[in-house]
Amino acid sequence: MELLPVFYPNSSDQDFINFWTGENINTAWAKLHQARYLAGVVAGGELSEGGEVCYIMAWENPEVIRGVNAFALGVKLLNPNATISTIVVNTWGNAFTELKAAQFLDNRGCEMIAQHVDHSEPQEVFASLGKFSIGSNSDTRAFLGEEVLTSPSFLWENMYPEIVQMAVNNELGNKTILKSFYENTVHLSSLSGFVKEETRQLLAEEESNLMNAEEDEYIFCGPIYDTSSTIRINTSECASLKDLGTIDWYVEGIQILGDFTPQYPDSANNFLPSELVIFSWILVGIFLMFGIGFGIWTYLNRKSSIIMFAQPFFLYLVILGLIDYLFLLCFV
């Protein structure tokens, strides 16, 4: 990405992420942490008093940390004694890792799960147990059921047309385009029927507050303390965009569980049923027998005109290639 201006000095690249900058590179993003804050309000309202909601983080970078912090601040509006426990899986999208992370968090007693990773496996795990979840980036309630309370996501369709038109008009320049909730570029999906009326009322108030704040910071305004009870944002002060773009601390009430690495199975059979594995080995045996048989037949008939015309050496190579492929297929 950083080399694009070198190779294409007369062009402009539009990057839909929030940390690339440079000559001829324009970045576009939306404040998804605002939607995660609102999702936290929903989670806090449906969590038991002082309960624990667990949050799967993709990475420990400012985007993800900003999101979980905003979520935690939303949770604490209705549930000030709640605990938000976080684990980091170090991947944006690995369905197996996310599945195992959700199972780990369920085993440690998490009442609800939220996430900043791409797959729906965490929500599926908790839905199968009758537990609530908060989705991410898409509305999964349609196929997972009412246990998915809501999902924060982008509304790119409200952002692309403006940027494309700016590009057509050669108006992009070298700038960062950052959209907010009031511009309808991030939102919450429709609410589950389990969400209580009290929660809905507070959510409506917070949505209104975000709309009225427009570009001004509303969520990260003091006093806000970190996990060591050190004040990070003083009373009557709010975080700047630069502060939020480099944030590396967690708000009070978040419990950091550390990195999570799943235990992968010892075998590499891709979870195939044992019957299919046995059938596959039978086929391998048949093909191997045919290969050896054709090799012997070729040797015994090496002086016949047909074999000599086909050149025995190349026939041996074909048979050797078959055996080599079967070996690689089975043992590598």
- In tens, the pLDDT along 228-252 reads 999 999 999 999 999 999 999 999 9
pLDDT value at position 306? 79
Residue scoring higher pLDDT (312 or 70): 70
With contact defined as beta carbons under 8 Å apart, do 125 and 141 qualify? no
CA distance 26 to 19: 10
Distance CA 173, CA 167 (A): 9
Highest-confidence segment of 83-87, 156-160, 178-182, 258-262: 83-87
Of 320 and 132, which is predicted with more confidence? 132
pTM for this entry: 0.77
Strand partners, 225: 231
Q: Where are the domains of the chain?
A: 31-151+189-259, 274-331
- In the numeric block, the tokens 């605990």 are attached to 83
Distance CA 73, CA 53 (A): 13
pLDDT tens digits for range 72-104: 999 999 999 999 999 999 999 899 999 999 999
pLDDT in tens, 13-53: 444 445 455 566 677 888 999 999 999 999 999 999 999 99
Q: Left (φ > 0), alpha (ψ -120 to 50) or beta: where does 271 sit?
A: left
- Distance CA(302)–CA(310), nearest Å, equals 10
Of 126, 46, 55, nearest in space to 84 by CA: 55
pLDDT of residue 267: 56
- Superfamily assignment of 31-151+189-259 in CATH? Response regulator (3.40.50.2300)
Residue 67 reports pLDDT greater than 70: yes
Residue 22 in tokens: 């440079």
Return the structure tokens found at 106: 């369920």
